[in-house]
Amino acid sequence: MAHASILDIEQEDYEYLQSLCRCRTIQAQIVDRAKILIYKAQGESIAAIAERIDVNVNTVKLCLKKFKEGGIDLALYDKPRPGHPVEITDDAIAWIVALACQRPADLGYSQELWTLKNLHQHIQKNAQEAGFPRLATITKPMVQKILHKSEIKPFKIKYYCEKRDPEFEQKMHDVLLVYKQISLQFKEDGSLTVPEDGVVVHTVSCDEKPGRQAIATTGEDLRPTADTGCVYRDAEYKRLGTLSLLAGIDLLTGEAIPLVSESHKSSDFINLLKKLDSKYPGRDVIRIICDNHSAHKSRETKNYLASRPEGRFVFVFTPTHGSWLNMIESFFSKMTKQMLKGIRVKSKEELAERIYLYFEEVNKEPVVYRWTYKMDEISQDEAVKVGVKSNSN
């Protein structure tokens, strides 16, 4: 027996259809048409849909035919007949869209974002004064339809990162130049090239995860069984304090170097630098990629760097709001998913021990992180010509 075909509907459109089915003020035939599309998207046959909604099979077929010809709007709403006056003019629609694009707080409301209910009420209340009396009786589904067709989503926030650093492109180029130079340190077989003078440049991607909560359970976790299938945990918990994690990733070897601290100060960052200083041969260069946190540029940090041989440490700073350029962010993301998510401990000391244990486990099979974004924009000649470059911005 052949299976009924499944109607392919975008998730956003599917949610819109569901909202129409929940609406109590919309016409019954529009609700029926929305249900037809939903049921077909779930894989039901035409006959089954017709029986379920109590309509003729031809009604179902017509609705699906209109969807294939013109999408959701054509399937749900009848086209106006010739000579039928347009009830909601283009100017009225433009006014609704303009309202939806405004901030409710600027119009005297408490909320930051519109809800469909608030926007609908505002439109009805102000339509007469704005010169659109027809909109005084507009329905919420019609407002929703207008917004949907205009692709306006005033109820939703998407975050972006504004480039407030006027030298963003140049600083990004400096970081990408470092990644290009790192790639040139590897031979085709994956082994490292040792310079003729024997001085190796070790590039370490550094960052911090401050304020890691040590959280204890108030009751023992119940381990999965054949009946439960998952871990059961008491919803109550106890906060035991916070720790800060400072770490670096050696971009040549993939080795992760951790430092767990009670605080997040310049002295903690200096302790990480001391750890790196003792790790690598004295003649080598330690190049640090990090963000613009004050601890990385403080007087205390500069005093420590001045006590080291000239050229021992070289700093390359990511641009403001450009921390995503730092490869250790990928490591921290992986660490959060694998180890920190849902972690429960009996003390801060246990949290520190388990963090160090995670680094030990990772370093048994280190992963060398490779950067690919915009690498084709950096030529090999430029990378060789520039050499080891630092910036102090």
109 versus 196: the higher-pLDDT residue is 109
Percent of the chain with pLDDT over 90: 50
CA 159 to chain CA mean position, Å: 8
Q: pLDDT at residue 390 above 80?
A: no
Q: Which two tokens stand for residue 144?
A: 């929703």
In sequence order, the 6+-apart residues with CB closer than 8 A to the CB of 231 are: 221, 222, 223, 224
Question: What residue has token string 């600027």?
Answer: 106
279 versus 83: which is more confidently predicted?
A: 279
- Over residues 233-255, the mean pLDDT reads 92
Q: Mind listing the pLDDT tens digit for each residue in 15-48?
A: 888 888 887 777 888 889 999 999 988 889 999 9
- Residue-wise pLDDT for 57-79, tens only, equals 999 999 999 999 888 888 888 77
Domains and CATH numbers, the chain: 11-76 (1.10.10), 90-150 (no CATH), 169-386 (3.30.420.10)
Distances (CA, A) of 351 to 239, 269, 334, 341: 12, 20, 17, 12
Please state the rounded mean pLDDT for residues 361-369.
91
**Residue 4's pLDDT band (cuts 50, 70, 90):** low
Residue-wise pLDDT tens digits, 106-154: 999 999 999 999 999 999 999 989 999 889 888 888 899 999 998 899 9
Q: What are phi and psi of 174, to 5 degrees?
A: -60, -40
**Least trusted range by pLDDT, from 205-209, 249-253, 388-392:** 388-392
pLDDT digits (tens, 9 = 90+) for 92-108: 999 999 999 999 999 99
In this predicted structure, what is the pLDDT of residue 86?
A: 54
pLDDT of residue 1: 44
Rounded mean pLDDT of 210-218?
90
CB-CB neighbours of 190 under 10 Å: 7
CA 73 vs. chain centroid, Å, equals 31
The pLDDT, as a whole number, for residue 88 is 85
Question: Smallest Cα–Cα separation from 244: which of 358, 355, 342, 360?
Answer: 355
pLDDT of residue 336: 92
Portion of the chain with pLDDT greater than 70, in percent: 94
What's the mean per-residue pLDDT of the chain?
88
Q: Determine the pLDDT at residue 234.
A: 85
280: pLDDT strictly greater than 90: yes
| Residue 11 neighbours by CB under 8 Å, 6+ apart | none
Per the DSSP assignment, residues forming a β-bridge with 222 are: 232
Tell me what pLDDT residue 103 has: 94
Q: What CA–CA distance (Å, rounded) separates 142 from 123? A: 12
pLDDT at 375: 80
The mean pLDDT of 202-226, rounded to a whole number, is 90
Region 330-358: mean pLDDT is 93
With a cut of 60, say whether residue 83 has pLDDT above it.
no
